Amino acid sequence: MKCTIKDIAEALHISRNTVSKALSGSPGVSDTTRRMIQEKAREMNYQNSIMEYNSSASAATLGSILFLTRASANYSEFWTNVLKGIESVLRPHSYSLVLGIMNENDLKNLLFPSILGDPMIKGIILVEICDERVISALFRYNLPIVTVDMPRDYEQIMGKLDIITMENKINLKLLVTKLIEKGASRFSFAGDIYSSNVGRGFQERYDALCETLKSFKLKLDDKCSLLYDTDDKFMDFPYLIDKIKKMQSLPDVFICGNDWTGIQLMHALQFLGYRIPKDVSIVGFDNIPESGKVHPPLTTIDTPKEQLGIAAANCIIERIKNPGIPRVYSQYTTSLIIRESTV
């Protein structure tokens, strides 16, 4: 079946105009976005796409690093910022960057980008791919791997790859404590913590909430928590509306696994007439740009996205140079940003 610009735009959740500009070489599109669109065009066999991988490929002499991520709109603002940090390191070290995007079917069936078999690929940086089964399959390529975040049950892969992640608990515990001291007592968690691709970050955020509640002799409001709802469910607006309608009453606070989840939940609650934060407060995580633009702006915890990318790139370059050095487990601090979505 012939692939069109409209098909690519829908797959990436961006405008057709942006896709058209990227594929025609027109100005007005960032290098990161252009590369993402070109890779998706290849994946979907778009016949008229520009086939150069990136602007620095011709200058690269040492090889390429594969940036492998999920085809999911809710994470795009996170990983594109990580990507900026990676690019800032690789280019001066004479490595080019290749973007690989896997959809849910790819992940389920272990269908990796064909370029992974190219001898010019010298290493892999993973972002938002936390399925232990997928990561284990990547080990067969015998390439250095650095992951930003990690599987929820990561013990089996420790010592087999390098891990760059963020600290997930401290600021969330601080915020929950502040909200309890202001009078909040009913807390629910919104975010999938049970599917195969759940990262350790989501699990630790959930744990931080439960541990803080326990210290105040409070319990998580399970009846209003959305723990089994995957990304596609949070994207399904009627489904989310129906889930909220079935709640007998709302908690005082929804702690969300990330900003995207918090924003989706906020829109659904507002559609039903609830006022934020008067009727319910909402907290996100990651501080994606959209979190400061919604109304009301979302209280969140900032992760140093570009710095995570810089660290991942430096790590894989060092691993390529010195494959026998001890594996890295590096955790970056976060910062609390209180905005109008909480009381």
pLDDT tens-digit series, residues 278-305 = 999 999 999 999 999 999 999 999 999 9
- Condensed to tens digits (0 to 9), the pLDDT of residues 40-98 reads 776 676 544 333 334 344 444 689 999 998 866 556 678 788 888 998 999 899 999 88
Q: How many CB atoms lie within 10 A of CB 167?
A: 15
Segment 27-43 mean pLDDT = 74
Query: Is the distance from CB of 38 to CB of 55 less than 8 angstroms?
Result: no
Q: How many CB atoms lie within 10 A of CB 119?
A: 6
Residue ranges with strand state E in 55-102 = 64-70, 96-102
Segment 265-276 mean pLDDT = 97
pTM of the model: 0.81
User: What is the C-alpha to C-alpha distance for residues 282 and 338, in angstroms, rounded to an integer?
Assistant: 11
Residue 217, judged by CB atoms within 10 A of its CB (0-12, 13-18, 19+), counts as exposed
| C-alpha dihedral, 231 to 337 to 313 to 51, nearest 10° | 50
What is the residue whose two structure tokens read 């910022």?
81
By percentage, how much of the chain surpasses pLDDT 70? Answer: 90
Segment 183-189 mean pLDDT = 97
Segment 7-18 mean pLDDT = 79
Segment 324-336 mean pLDDT = 96
pLDDT at 61: 65
Average pLDDT, the chain: 88
Query: What confidence category does residue 343 fall into, taking pLDDT thresholds of 50, 70 and 90?
Result: confident
* Nearest of 288, 286, 277, 214 to residue 251 by alpha carbon: 277
pLDDT at 103: 83
**Domain residue limits, the chain:** 5-166+305-332, 170-303
Segment 250-277 mean pLDDT = 96
Options 3.40.920.10, 3.50.50.60, 3.40.50.2300, 3.60.150.10; CATH for 170-303 is 3.40.50.2300
Q: 145-148 and 329-332: which strand pairing?
A: unpaired
DSSP 247: -
pLDDT at 49: 34
Lowest model confidence (mean pLDDT) among 42-46, 145-149, 210-214, 271-275: 42-46
User: What is the C-alpha to C-alpha distance for residues 124 and 147, in angstroms, rounded to an integer?
Assistant: 8
| CATH number for the domain whose boundaries are 5-166+305-332 | 3.40.50.2300
pLDDT at 197: 85
* CA 185 vs CA 175, 176, 216, 261: distances in Å: 13, 10, 9, 22
Q: Of all helices (H) and strands (E), which one includes residue 202?
A: helix 200-215
Is the predicted pLDDT of residue 20 greater than 80, yes or no? no
Is the predicted pLDDT of residue 27 greater than 70, yes or no? no
* CA 235 vs CA 72, 130, 255, 274, 312: distances in Å: 10, 20, 18, 19, 30
Is the predicted pLDDT of residue 21 greater than 80, yes or no? no
Query: Is the distance from CB of 11 to CB of 40 less than 8 angstroms?
Result: yes
